[in-house]
Amino acid sequence: MTHLDDAFLADWAVHSRFGAVPGTNGVDRQAASAADGEQRAWFAKLLEQRGFTVERDAAGNQFGLLELVPGAPYVLTGSHMDSQPTAGRFDGAYGVMASAHACFRVAEELRASGDATYNLAVVNWFNEEGSRFKPSMMGSSVFTGKLELEAALATTDPRGITVADALDALRERGEGDVFGGETGREVASYAEIHVQQGRSMEEDGVTIGLVDATWAAHKFEFRVTGAQAHSGSTLMEDRRDALLGAARLVVAARELVDEFEPGQLHTACGELNVYPNSPVVVASEVELLIDLRSPSAEVIRDAHASLQRTIERVEREDRVRIEVTAEHSWDRNPYPEAGVELAREVAEELSLPSDRVMTVAGHDSTNMKDTVPTVMLFVPSVAGISHNLDEFTEESDLVAGVNHLTGVVRRLAEGALTA
């Protein structure tokens, strides 16, 4: 390894301490939590020490800006630093730290050569995970105009704290735009690197994943309403059990998978809130989130239709009311072919094994690719473990990813994809 690789690993080790869960290798640093604030403050200092100016926009996105060519657009690269409640330290955060070090390296080269066409910027997107505040990918959704700023800021966590108040408590909410608007700054292109969160690359011996498309996804938030009753004395035929209705939806979501060819549909119920959640009360209300994902938009539509038939049956048989209170979706979409090819060429130059992969998970690049030329990259995840304290990626793969991203950012800064 070179001294540049050592410098990255040293900073990576420091960053991994923020929100660390004692006795594990994982972290807990949900969006706008105290741990998130601590890592943001540290990251800002890291960027400033390398000559970057740090700014936040009104949605809480954190940017490090380096102007090499006054007035020119910026090559933007990054990911997110927030995590699930107990999660691995690699998800998202690796992409931000890799982006920072890739920009540090490219900046030194371009300062020396004077060959820059564009400026450089690193971004830490706010609330990509969507664990404390829904929906996921919130910061990049506001940035790309897919979500209204006012709606995002008014969103509350389970304790009723708004995004605006949580960001203000950390002094991490800016007053306006960092790009666009009256700033005059423009994004020329975007690059993101992430751990795969799957095991295909590790199994296939692939070091660099060239992400060429996203799976389609549809997330539903349901409210099941019944009637509160005594769990012992109320006759079974008189009950309108909201939890029973919710349980049928959870089982139905799993059984949906078997209606399609293997590997064509992933489903989950990742959140369940029961009221009044008392040991002697039949539940009157349950809120739950069901997640459908597939490489096929047609499969998503068919799964939705099947789920709707189940909802109608449960409402009728269990005498409960089921309503959709929120939805969040995205279609299967390709990444720009020119970006995939650029990434393949860089991998070949570095003699890094690469191959095309699809992303099942959503990423901020899912939003960015709809607005500017975008490159999305993966490095392997050991055993595909993710959103788990045992998530892990080998140091050699982390370093290879930084080296590859550096090559991609260098090309983008010289005008690739936008000339």
pLDDT-based confidence at residue 218 (cuts at 50, 70, 90): very high
- Contact between 280 and 226 under an 8 Å Cβ cutoff? The reply is no
Q: Which fold has domain 3-215+332-413?
A: Aminopeptidase (3.40.630)
- Contact between 119 and 106 under an 8 Å Cβ cutoff? The reply is no
Q: What is the pLDDT of residue 375?
A: 98
Q: What is the CA radius of gyration of the chain?
A: 23
Phi, psi of 339 (to 5 degrees): -70, -40
- The CATH architecture that domain 216-330 belongs to is 2-Layer Sandwich (3.30)
Cα 366 to Cα 169: distance, rounded to the nearest angstrom: 29
Q: What is the pLDDT of residue 330?
A: 83
Q: What is the pLDDT of residue 341?
A: 98
pLDDT-based confidence at residue 331 (cuts at 50, 70, 90): confident
Q: What is the pLDDT of residue 183?
A: 94
pLDDT exceeding 90 applies to what percent of the chain?
Answer: 96
Q: Report the pLDDT averaged over residues 171-175.
A: 97
Q: Report the pLDDT averaged over residues 302-312.
A: 97
Joined together, the tokens standing for residue 332 give 């299967």
Q: Helices marked H in 114-225 — which ranges?
A: 138-143, 149-154, 163-170, 200-204
The C-alpha angle 79, 39, 25, rounded to 5 degrees, equals: 85
Q: What is the pLDDT of residue 3?
A: 94
Q: What is the pLDDT of residue 1?
A: 85
Q: What is the pLDDT of residue 201?
A: 98
pLDDT exceeding 70 applies to what percent of the chain?
Answer: 100
Cα 100 to Cα 109: distance, rounded to the nearest angstrom: 14
Instruction: Using the structure block, give the residue that is written with the tokens 């099941």.
Output: 224
Show contacts of 110-116: CB within 8 Å, 24+ apart: 110/68, 110/413, 111/68, 115/414, 116/68, 116/69, 116/72, 116/413, 116/414
Whose CA is closest to 304, among 291, 317, 321, 319?
Answer: 291
- Angstrom distances, CA of residue 134 to CA of 219, 283, 309, 355: 11, 24, 26, 33
Q: Report the pLDDT averaged over residues 358-380.
A: 96
Instruction: Using the structure block, give the residue that is written with the tokens 């080998």.
Output: 394
pLDDT-based confidence at residue 115 (cuts at 50, 70, 90): confident
Cα 389 to Cα 88: distance, rounded to the nearest angstrom: 5
Query: What confidence tens digit (pLDDT) does each residue in 252-293 have?
Result: 999 999 999 999 999 999 899 999 999 999 999 999 999 999
Q: Report the pLDDT averaged over residues 101-111.
A: 96
Residues of the chain with CATH 3.30.70.360: 216-330
Residues of the chain with CATH 3.40.630.10: 3-215+332-413
Query: What confidence tens digit (pLDDT) does each residue in 58-98 have?
Result: 999 999 999 999 999 999 999 999 999 999 999 999 999 99
Q: What is the pLDDT of residue 262?
A: 96
Phi, psi of 176 (to 5 degrees): -160, -145
Cα 365 to Cα 327: distance, rounded to the nearest angstrom: 20
Could you count the other beta carbons within 10 Å of the beta carbon of residue 7?
Answer: 14
Q: Please check the confidence at residue 419 and state whether its pLDDT lies above 90.
A: no
- Contact between 249 and 269 under an 8 Å Cβ cutoff? The reply is yes
Q: What is the pLDDT of residue 114?
A: 85
Q: What residues does 272 pair with on adjacent strands?
A: 288
Q: What is the mean pLDDT of the chain?
A: 97
Q: Report the pLDDT averaged over residues 187-214.
A: 97
